[in-house]
Amino acid sequence: MLRRLALAAVVSLAALATTAPAASATGPVPSAVPSAVPTAGPLSSAFPALGPLPVPLPPLPSFLDGGSGVGQEKPAARTRLTVTVERSGVAGADGTFELTCGPTGGTHPERQGACDRLAEVGATRAGQDLFQPAPQGTMCTMIYGGDASARIVGTWEGRAVDTTVTRGDGCEIARWNNLVPVLPDLR
């Protein structure tokens, strides 16, 4: 319904922008199309009377250019991950799960929450790779968080991902916790 209303508004604006004003014997007829030429003020005499110029329309938003969607393929997801969790100690958390975002789907037990978290972290850490391990030489606390490990492979926001996350030290625990609910919450 929203798509139809927005499309109707865009089409109406396009019709108004391309309609040429009719001329009469007494002069041009006022038009509803905004004019790009000043009609009053100090600059009005500097421009010839061109009449109203059409207002350029921006390209259609992506949700409008898809038509009805019937019989059309869905666009490929920008995020498509395979998450394999082992030795978590949480019932039902171990296994291999598929996760797609944009649209949300897959076999991941917390699909929507995981996609929301990836989008949130991606927006606040623009330009940084969420899945990179701590840089070499980083001082990490020597806290052991357990035997859990996870491998994440696929694409995130169109970029290739192939990483393993453990809970072997403070930096790895922080990485794991930052990826909850993509990874199970072990706190």
Per-residue confidence at 66, pLDDT binned at 50, 70, 90?
Answer: very low
- What per-residue confidence (pLDDT) applies to 67? 44
Per-residue confidence at 13, pLDDT binned at 50, 70, 90?
Answer: low
- What per-residue confidence (pLDDT) applies to 92? 87
Contacts of 94 (CB under 8 A, 6+ apart): 85, 86, 87, 88
Cβ count near 60 (within 10 Å): 12
Whether residue 58 has pLDDT greater than 70: no
CB 39 within 8 A of CB 33: no
What is the pTM assigned to this prediction?
Answer: 0.58
Question: What average pLDDT does the segment 136-163 reach?
Answer: 93
Beta bridge partners of 105: 100
- What per-residue confidence (pLDDT) applies to 181? 94
CB 167 within 8 A of CB 186: yes
pLDDT in tens, 81-93: 999 999 999 888 9
For the range 122-125, what are the long-range contacts, defined as Cβ-Cβ under 8 Å and sequence gap of 24 or more? Answer: 122/156, 122/157
Whether residue 102 has pLDDT greater than 60: yes
Per-residue confidence at 23, pLDDT binned at 50, 70, 90?
Answer: very low
Whether residue 69 has pLDDT greater than 50: no
CB 137 within 8 A of CB 174: no
Q: Please state, rounded to an integer, the average pLDDT across all residues of the chain.
A: 75
Per-residue confidence at 99, pLDDT binned at 50, 70, 90?
Answer: very high
- What per-residue confidence (pLDDT) applies to 22? 46
